[in-house]
């Protein structure tokens, strides 16, 4: 069993129209704010470790955001040094950093190398300027291409994020984007369907009629098309929104689905430790403030902590594993025997199997690609 560490850098150059993540424009931070934020992360790492009884070995570290390089790679170096200082890193530990085409300068890439990152997740989203504009992305398609070129010259193990189901989307656009992405031969692809979240500028644009609401039929077509397009390639559809070449699956993300514990550090970060889920305050200034005071409790900056009930644990374990292509080993469900599992869900699962949504191999069950597309409906039965 692995153990992950997620570090959140809540800074972006500007806010994308669809974004509801914890991130703030860079110009709201002073240099001192940024220094204090790095210090706060170090304090939190130290505090988390002080709660452990023995040394902790990490199998993955993921620095996400926001746009981490915007904090300056020198600060990322400091953060990674702090990680090394308090934690042991397993051999071959996956060290991912998220980046954005605009931050892909030779200088930044040198800094990231210095910080020790060995996996790079690039927020491409699209190779179509009109689509990028609709999404409120700050970069152009040309900048994305240039960034990819530079990244590939310097590093292996590159992942792209692409987005489909954009308002007024053109089916051909998605096909072109995916083809373009494949030409660059990334090791890993995350394909996300656009979700219009309340209180985002995009929701406003749709409400005021500046663009059409997302077409669910088209989103479904685009998903189908991507699944079909990638099926004969080396990319394996190893999780609902993720495809990877063999051995290039994201160790860190798999940890989420396989119910491994993980630390969440930084403003807005979520963690999962000893059956407790927590989320830190999303306000980086408040977070910094808290970390500089005397730290109380296990999760001092948490705005939310919840101890999962045994039923919730079982449900989460099942649902998260079913997001993966390898599915769920029925012996892994906490507090539930596989006999009990079949007694409760057997009838429905058999029905879903007949519909081609679910597969079963001995003690393992999983969702087919068709089942993944309808996974929420299937998951409902497991909800307590």
- C-alpha 226/C-alpha 289 separation (Å) is 45
Q: Does the footprint of ligand SF4 cover residue 15 (CB under 6 A)?
A: yes
Cβ contacts of 1 within 8 Å, gap of 6 or more = 260, 261
Q: Does the footprint of another protein cover residue 210 (CB under 8 A)?
A: no
CB of 8 to another protein, least distance (A): 8
Note whether 288 and 262 are within 8 A (CB): no
347 by Cβ neighbours in 10 Å (0-12 / 13-18 / 19+) ranks as exposed
* Half-sphere exposure for 55 (CA within 13 Å, toward CB): 9
By C-beta, is 267 or 314 nearer to ligand SF4?
A: 267
Instruction: Calculate helix-pair angle for 171-183, 216-230, nearest 10 degrees.
Output: 30
Q: Which of 19, 36, 89, 254 binds ligand SF4 (CB under 6 A)?
A: 19
Stretch that binds another protein, among 31-39, 88-96, 324-332, 369-377 (CB under 8 A): 369-377
Q: Does the footprint of another protein cover residue 217 (CB under 8 A)?
A: yes
Instruction: Calculate the CA 212 to chain-centre distance.
Output: 27
Q: Does the footprint of ligand SF4 cover residue 194 (CB under 6 A)?
A: no
- C-alpha 121/C-alpha 110 separation (Å) is 16
- C-alpha 60/C-alpha 251 separation (Å) is 7
Phi, psi of 151 (to 5 degrees): -60, -45
Stretch that binds another protein, among 39-47, 102-110, 148-156, 213-221 (CB under 8 A): 213-221
Q: Does the footprint of ligand SF4 cover residue 12 (CB under 6 A)?
A: yes
CB of 240 to another protein, least distance (A): 6
- C-alpha 114/C-alpha 92 separation (Å) is 17
Q: Does the footprint of another protein cover residue 357 (CB under 8 A)?
A: yes
CB of 205 to ligand SF4, least distance (A): 15
Q: Does the footprint of ligand SF4 cover residue 21 (CB under 6 A)?
A: yes
- C-alpha 24/C-alpha 257 separation (Å) is 28
How many chain residues bind ligand SF4 (CB under 6 A)? 11
Q: Does the footprint of another protein cover residue 16 (CB under 8 A)?
A: no
- Binding marks (x or -) toward ligand SF4, 71..90, rule CB under 6 A? --------------------
How many chain residues bind another protein (CB under 8 A)? 48
Q: Does the footprint of another protein cover residue 312 (CB under 8 A)?
A: yes
Q: Shortest CA distance to 75 belongs to which of 118, 111, 101?
A: 111
| Residue 237 touches which of ligand SF4, another protein, none (Cβ within 5-8 Å per kind) | none
- C-alpha 230/C-alpha 161 separation (Å) is 15
Note whether 255 and 262 are within 8 A (CB): yes
Binding-site ranges for another protein (CB under 8 A): 4, 6, 8, 21, 64, 161, 190-195, 216-217, 219-220, 223-224, 240-241, 256, 262, 264, 269-272, 277, 279, 304, 306, 312, 315-316, 319-320, 351, 355, 357, 372-377, 379-380, 383
Residues that bind ligand SF4 (CB under 6 A): 12, 15-16, 19, 21, 23, 65-67, 100, 123
């Amino acid at each position: 069993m692995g153990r992950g560490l997620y570090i959140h850098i809540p800074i972006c150059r500007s806010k994308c129209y669809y974004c509801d993540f914890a991130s703030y424009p860079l110009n709201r931070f002073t240099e001192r704010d940024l220094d204090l934020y790095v210090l706060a992360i170090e304090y939190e790492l130290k505090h988390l470790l002080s709660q452990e009884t023995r040394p902790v070995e990490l199998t993955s570290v993921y620095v996400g955001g926001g746009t981490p390089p915007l904090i300056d790679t020198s600060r990322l170096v400091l953060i990674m040094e702090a990680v090394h200082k308090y934690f042991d890193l397993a051999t071959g530990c996956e060290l991912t950093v998220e980046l954005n085409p605009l931050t892909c300068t030779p200088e930044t890439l040198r800094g990231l190398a210095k910080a020790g990152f060995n996996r790079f997740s690039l927020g491409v989203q699209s190779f179509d300027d009109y689509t990028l504009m609709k999404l409120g992305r700050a970069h152009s398609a040309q900048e994305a291409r240039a960034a990819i070129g530079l990244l590939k010259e310097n590093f292996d193990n590159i992942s792209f994020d692409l987005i489909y189901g954009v308002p007024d989307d053109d089916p051909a656009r998605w096909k072109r984007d995916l083809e373009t992405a494949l030409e660059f031969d990334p090791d890993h692809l995350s394909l996300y369907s656009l979700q219009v979240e309340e209180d985002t500028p995009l929701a406003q644009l749709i409400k005021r009629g500046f663009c059409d609401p997302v077409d669910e039929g088209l989103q479904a077509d685009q998903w189908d098309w991507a699944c079909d397009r990638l099926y004969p390639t080396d990319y394996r559809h190893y999780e609902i929104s993720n495809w990877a070449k063999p051995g290039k699956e994201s160790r860190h993300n798999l940890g989420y689905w396989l119910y491994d514990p993980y630390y969440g550090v930084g403003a807005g970060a979520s963690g999962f430790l000893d059956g407790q889920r927590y989320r830190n305050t999303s306000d980086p200034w408040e977070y910094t403030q808290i970390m500089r005071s005397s730290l109380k409790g296990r999760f001092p900056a948490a705005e939310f902590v919840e101890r999962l009930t045994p039923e919730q644990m079982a449900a989460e374990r099942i649902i998260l594993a079913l997001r993966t292509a390898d599915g769920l080993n029925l012996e892994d469900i906490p507090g539930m025997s596989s006999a009990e599992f079949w007694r409760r869900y057997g009838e429905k699962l058999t029905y879903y199997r007949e519909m081609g949504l679910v597969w079963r191999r001995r003690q393992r069950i999983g969702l087919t690609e068709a089942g993944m597309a309808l996974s929420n409906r299937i998951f409902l039965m497991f909800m307590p």
